Amino acid sequence: MKYKLLFFIGCVLYTTSVGAYQPDDEINKEIGKAVAWATGSGGRINRNGALQIFQKYATLGHPKAMNGLGLMYLQGHEVQADSSKAIDWLTRAGEAGYARAWQNLGLMYFYAHGGVQQDFIKAYNYFEKGVQAGGIGALYDAGYMLYKGLGCTQDYQKAFAYFVKGAGNEHSPCMYMLGLCYRNGYGVEANAAEANYWLTEAEKLGYAFASNELEAETPENSLEGRPMQTSDAINVPTVYARIKPVQKDSDLAGIYQGILVTYDWSGQHILSETPLQLILQTDGERVQGEWQTETDTVQLNATFKDGILHFENTQMKTYDHYSPTAPVLYEFTEAKISAFASSLTGNLRMFSPQTMEPQRPMYISLHKVGTTTVAEDKEAHTVVKAYPNPFSDKLNLALTLQESCNVQIAIYDYSGRNVYMTDMGDVAVGEQRFVLTPNLSQGVYIVKAFAGKRTYQVIVIKKGGKQ
């Protein structure tokens, strides 16, 4: 499901004003003409003319004109973009009874328009003002945030009540959300007939998301009531559990296998269970590794402090119930980790720059099956380096030798099988650099350099398939 409220001036000026002030017909026609000029809805764009009309009537206290002027400042149409002036005029319009102005302010903070910082709390509060002012669209906006718990306490029942009101006014997005509530049993007892009715009504009004949901064979929480697909070694709570982060340094490195569990917005329903393999290397603060599922392989980069992984430049595209054909881009933001003995559990947070929303609550439960640390000769770590790590096609090896000797380089997989071997011949004293092009499958490998009577080794991660 996507939150798709278009933030164009043409979509916000034609809403019927609900409030105490009702401009006379002559003024209303003038403001209507300004709207048409600003949006081009009449086949002509004249934003300078629109600006003059909005300015004239905004200074006289006309709510719809104040709303229009605020949007002109927000979008920088015929004036220098100025979020402060936009907020001022939209606030005046809202206080004068124009419900859609509150909604526009909410959208501004939801999507971080006009250079303001995204603020879900402010967005929700503005949408609530729109609801109190009688705005139908605001019922959807505030209900949507309640449904997901964005900027407010998550509450399906209150969201459902808002959607009922909006649907009663033939607001298709509210009809759609009402259908989802009935289909999934969110805030109301599940009722397939009611779900189908409201989704069909929304579809009749051209709401494409309703059509997509009607085509889906199962609701999003189709795992409800099914047994968990986990082993005895993996502990997964049936209800989302918040992890208390625990600082771990040397123990964090390793190869882990287990499951990624995604819950609904309330954390009460499991939506998906995805097998997960996690490969981590760390120097105690910096963490690198690889996130592997059946469909995705992601290179992880993060810092680790006080039991929390703070990700950097780590993202993935993923499909879900509401985006089965067009994956949504998500950025890893942080993971609160608790690692004891051979188990690792955590809460993962992700955020989509596409939808400007966080991902649902996610829980990982993993069991360590291997190590990415090498216990042999500590000096080896100071004389051999591999980069980039992870690598794709070429692996650079830097080796510092104390004496001239013959050097052979071998690569082993984690079962101990030799998968690559090359003889570099006689090599001089000092730091030497070698470029390797091993044809390997993705995974974790041990690179060993046999230099005279000494052996040096380093762990590397191969990303992607064979070249």
Determine, yes or no, domain membership for 230.
no
Same domain, yes or no: 199 and 255? no
- The H or E element spanning position 278 is strand 270-282
Evaluate the CA torsion angle 125, 126, 130, 133 in order and state its sign: positive
Determine, yes or no, domain membership for 222.
no
Same domain, yes or no: 347 and 422? no
Last residue of a domain, one of 312, 345, 370: 370
Same domain, yes or no: 195 and 101? yes
Tell which residue, 309, 308, 219, has the closest CA to residue 270.
219
Determine, yes or no, domain membership for 152.
yes
Same domain, yes or no: 72 and 190? yes
334 contacts: CB under 8 Å, gap ≥ 6 = 308, 309, 310, 311, 348, 349
- CATH number, domain of 319, equals 2.40.128.20
Evaluate the CA torsion angle 371, 377, 378, 381 in order and state its sign: negative
Determine, yes or no, domain membership for 279.
yes
- CATH number, domain of 157, equals 1.25.40.10
| Number of domains the chain contains | 3
Determine, yes or no, domain membership for 220.
no
Last residue of a domain, one of 337, 370, 403: 370
Digit-by-digit pLDDT tens for the chain (467 residues) are 333 333 333 334 433 333 344 457 889 899 999 999 999 988 999 999 999 999 999 999 999 999 999 999 999 999 999 999 999 999 999 999 999 999 999 999 999 999 999 999 999 999 999 999 999 999 999 999 999 999 999 999 999 999 999 999 999 999 999 999 999 999 999 999 999 999 999 999 999 999 999 999 999 998 765 555 555 556 788 999 999 998 655 568 888 888 999 999 999 999 999 889 898 888 777 898 889 887 888 989 999 988 999 999 999 999 999 999 999 999 999 999 998 878 899 999 999 999 999 999 999 999 887 776 544 444 444 467 888 877 888 999 988 888 899 999 999 876 678 899 999 999 999 889 999 999 998 777 888 888 888 888 777 778 765 53
| Cross-strand bridge partners of residue 175 | none
Determine, yes or no, domain membership for 160.
yes
Last residue of a domain, one of 215, 231, 259: 215
Tell which residue, 389, 300, 297, 288, has the closest CA to residue 348.
300
- CATH number, domain of 423, equals 2.60.40.3080
DSSP SS3 for 11:
helix
Same domain, yes or no: 361 and 269? yes
- The H or E element spanning position 53 is helix 47-58
Rounded to whole angstroms, the Cα distance separating 22 from 125 reads: 25
Same domain, yes or no: 193 and 269? no
Q: Domain range spanning residue 396?
A: 380-462
Determine, yes or no, domain membership for 243.
no
Same domain, yes or no: 207 and 260? no
What is each CA distance from 249 to 257, 308, 347, 348, 453, in whole angstroms?
A: 19, 11, 18, 19, 33
Determine, yes or no, domain membership for 221.
no
- Write down the pTM of the prediction: 0.78
Phi-psi region of 400 (alpha: psi -120 to 50; beta: other; left: phi over 0): beta
SS3 of the chain: helix, strand, coil, percent, to 5: 35, 30, 35
Same domain, yes or no: 89 and 180? yes
Same domain, yes or no: 270 and 196? no
Same domain, yes or no: 121 and 177? yes
Same domain, yes or no: 322 and 179? no
